[in-house]
Each structure stands twice: as C-alpha cells, then as structure tokens.
C-alpha cells in the first residue's frame, strides 16, 4: 500500500476565469460552450480581443489595498481565499507557519509600471518626484505570493515560480514537492496572470504576427482550426489546496483528485518555437513517474494556443506519445478563454477535474475546419462528449524559452 504521508491530494480550488469566478461557474460555461473572450481596447495597440475576469476584488481586500498592490496580487488573494473556503480550512484552527504559498507566473507588476510611466511622461513632465513609492514592492519577483501571505497573515514560506506559460503546472509541482519534503503541511499552489492590463504583451504578439484577429469575439480563439491566426491574451488565476492524503482523511476533507505524476523539462533549442520531441519527452516522463502507460490516460488537455506552428508541433508530440493508445481523448480550454499565460495550466486542469464525477469531456470549440495536421484520433470537437468513466487527466503546458510541463491527476481511490 502506498504511504498516505507521501500521496498528495487536491482538497480545494479557488479560481477566476474570463467565463467564471468559481469552479462550478467555469465548468458550466465549458459545458455550455460559452466563451469569455470579449472585444477590448488597450493603449497604443487599439482594438483587439481579450479574456477579462470579473471577480470582486473588494471581497477580500479594502479599496486602499487594491490600489496599493497589483492586479496579479488581487487575483491571487481572491483565489487563495476561495480555495481555502472550498477546502473547508479555517486558518484559525491550523498552524499557519506550516502553510506555503507557491504561485507560478509569467509576469506581474507590468500593469502598474506601464501606468506609472504613462502618467509620469504625460502628466508630470517626467519628474520622478511623482513616481509611486509602491513601485518596488509591486515589482519584486515574489509579489503575488507575498501579497497573499500579508492578506491572510500566513507566516509560512512563499515565492513565485517564473515558468512562462508552464507556470500554473510549475506552481502545483513546487507545492507538491515542498509537502513531500516536509517543509509545509498545506500548500496554496497554482498560477496567476494579470496579462490583459499591460499593452506590452499585446504589442509584442502583434509585432510577432501572433495576436488573434477576427470579427466575432466568441470565435476568435480557435486552436486546431485552419483559420486560426493567433493568441487571445487573457488574465486569470487558479490556486489549489494541496495536502497529504493522511492529513486530508484525518480532517474528513473532500478529495478532488490525487496528483500522481509530473515532469518539467526544457527544449534547449529556441526562445519561441516549440520542440515536439522535448514536449513528448516531458509527457512520457510524467507518465513514468505515475507508473502509467499512455492508454491509462482518459483526457489530455492540450496547451494549444491557436498559433499556426505551435498547434501543429504540439499535436505531433501528442501523436507520438498517445498515437497507439485507445480511449484517450484530447481537448483544449483556450478556445473558450484565450491564453491566461501563467494561470493557463492551473485553470485548464481545474476545468477538467469535474469529469471525474460526471464523465463528460468538454470540447474544443470554434473548430469549423480542422487542420489535418492537428487531426488527433481522440480530439473532442465542438460538442461535449459523455464517456463511461474518467479516471486520469494529463494536463500539459508549454512556455517561451522552451519550458515544458505535464501534471497527471487521478480520480481518488483508496
């Protein structure tokens, strides 16, 4: 029998996505094929599209605290509170020094810095006496996780994990490892992104020819479709409560799933173009750690960002790993919410976890003309698919500078 002290389970999830501010809302939107992408206009770039979250930032923060902190911090604080509530954890009854906060990010503080620069140059003739004294705490690398610990009065360890668009998975992996090492008893782990408030990300993708364009906001994010033409920039967050099985069972917690496999590796080839060989190696490494074969997986959540080459290369990696396996279904969540950057992996995994209970696989939407190079055998397109059971989910996320991640979650059983 496996040691329950080393089995790491998920007991709570707090999230905000462009189409839902908790897991129930998010899941319902996925099953109803409801997009969260909207028309958006941002300074210098002009009219575009984005996924905007509508959570109540003042639910857990005072207005002054929101102004003083960062958008990434507000998203993190909201998700952390929601995750603890979902897990049924009362912080007054636990040793808070044994709680760690590990958040994956792509960026943070850019929003506030860009606003400060704009204000300084347009209103104050570049006089730095008007520069915000909040700049440094907003931009230090540990900011979002640090804002959570201050808000929740958690004196345990905290830091952020810079892992580009693999950051959500990386945060989960870090939290799991810290529990196994005995550094903490509970981990608040996941991923966060404030991307939509910073024009630089939009401008960079536009200069690269990778910013999505179209007429209909709900259909502009279209992974795997021949007409796909780029990324929809989105914000969001998903934080998980992780703890050992032993601890979860001792307090009678509901168990959402068990993390049984994970892997991180690097392409080591190009800053932007993905390497399908390394992506496949990452997924295989996660399967090996889980003691599983490809055919044991029921759902592969594809990272697919709706860029021309990115989708093709990832599909080649999935085909290489799962091509001979039967009963493996592939879906994608960015077709609903765009690319939530550092939050992408954590959010996309969350959207699939209810499949353990309802055995429904949400589809990739907006696929009117499937690219033959993306035609995977188990691809679920445009309509939810009811299956006999879902026991294993593999969530893959890949990011710039060639960082690859995979996390495998299994439906809990004794």
Residues with a catalytic annotation lie at 165, 303, 339
Angle at 243 between CA 149 and CA 348, to 5 degrees: 80
Q: Which long-range contacts does 37-43 make (Cβ < 8 Å, 24+ apart)?
A: 37/217, 37/218, 37/220, 37/221, 37/232, 37/234, 37/336, 37/337, 37/338, 38/217, 39/217, 40/196, 42/196, 42/199, 42/202, 43/114, 43/118, 43/199
Residue 2 C-beta-side C-alpha neighbours within 13 Å: 15
User: Which DSSP string do the residues of 316-338 spell out, in sequence order?
Assistant: HHHHHHHTT-SS-EEEESHHHH-
DSSP 291: T
- Would you tell me how many other CB atoms lie within 10 Å of the CB of residue 153? 8
CA dihedral 358, 364, 37, 240 (to 10 degrees): 50
Angle at 164 between CA 82 and CA 115, to 5 degrees: 75
CB 175 within 8 A of CB 159: no
Residue 198 C-beta-side C-alpha neighbours within 13 Å: 23
CB 408 within 8 A of CB 292: yes
Q: Are strands 360-361 and 329-332 parallel, antiparallel or unpaired?
A: unpaired
Paired strand residues for 200: none
Strand, helix or coil at 41?
strand
Q: Residue 145: which H helix or E strand, with range?
A: helix 143-152
Backbone region of residue 327 per phi and psi (left: phi > 0; alpha: psi in -120 to 50; beta: other values): left
Strand, helix or coil at 1?
coil
């Amino acid at each position: 029998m496996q040691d329950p002290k080393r089995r790491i389970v998920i007991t709570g999830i707090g999230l905000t996505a462009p189409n839902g501010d908790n897991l129930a809302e998010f899941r319902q939107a996925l099953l109803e094929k409801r997009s969260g992408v909207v028309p958006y206009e941002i300074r210098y770039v002009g009219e575009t599209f984005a996924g905007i979250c509508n959570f109540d930032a003042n639910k857990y923060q005072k207005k002054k605290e929101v102004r003083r902190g960062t958008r990434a911090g507000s998203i993190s604080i909201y998700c952390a509170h929601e995750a603890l509530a979902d897990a049924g954890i009362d912080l007054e009854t636990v040793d808070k020094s044994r709680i760690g906060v590990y958040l994956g990010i792509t960026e943070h503080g850019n929003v506030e810095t860009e606003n400060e620069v704009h204000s300084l140059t347009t209103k104050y003739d570049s006089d730095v006496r008007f520069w915000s004294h909040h700049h440094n705490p907003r931009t230090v690398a540990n900011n979002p996780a640090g804002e959570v610990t201050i808000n929740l009065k958690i004196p345990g360890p905290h830091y952020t994990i810079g892992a580009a668009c693999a950051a959500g998975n990386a945060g989960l992996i870090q939290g799991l490892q810290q529990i196994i090492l005995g550094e903490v008893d509970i981990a608040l782990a996941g991923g966060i992104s404030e991307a939509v408030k910073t024009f630089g990300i939009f401008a960079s993708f536009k200069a690269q020819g990778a910013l999505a364009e179209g007429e209909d906001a709900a259909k502009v994010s279209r992974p795997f479709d021949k007409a796909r033409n780029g990324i929809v920039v989105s914000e969001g967050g998903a934080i998980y409560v992780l703890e050992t099985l032993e601890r979860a069972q001792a307090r009678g917690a509901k168990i959402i799933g068990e993390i049984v496999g994970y892997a991180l590796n690097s392409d080591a080839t190009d800053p932007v173009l993905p390497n399908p060989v390394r992506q496949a190696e990452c997924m295989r490494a996660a399967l090996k750690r889980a003691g599983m074969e490809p055919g044991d997986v029921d759902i592969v959540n594809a990272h697919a960002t709706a860029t021309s080459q990115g989708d093709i290369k990832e599909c080649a990696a999935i085909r290489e790993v799962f091509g001979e396996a039967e009963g493996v279904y592939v879906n994608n969540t960015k077709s609903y919410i765009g690319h939530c950057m550092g939050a992408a992996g954590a959010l996309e995994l969350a959207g699939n976890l209810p499949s353990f209970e309802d055995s429904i696989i949400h589809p990739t939407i907006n696929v009117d003309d499937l690219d033959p190079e993306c035609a995977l055998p188990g691809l679920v397109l445009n309509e939810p698919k009811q299956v006999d059971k879902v026991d294993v989910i593999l969530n893959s996320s890949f990011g710039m500078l060639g960082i690859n991640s995979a996390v495998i979650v299994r439906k809990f059983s004794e």
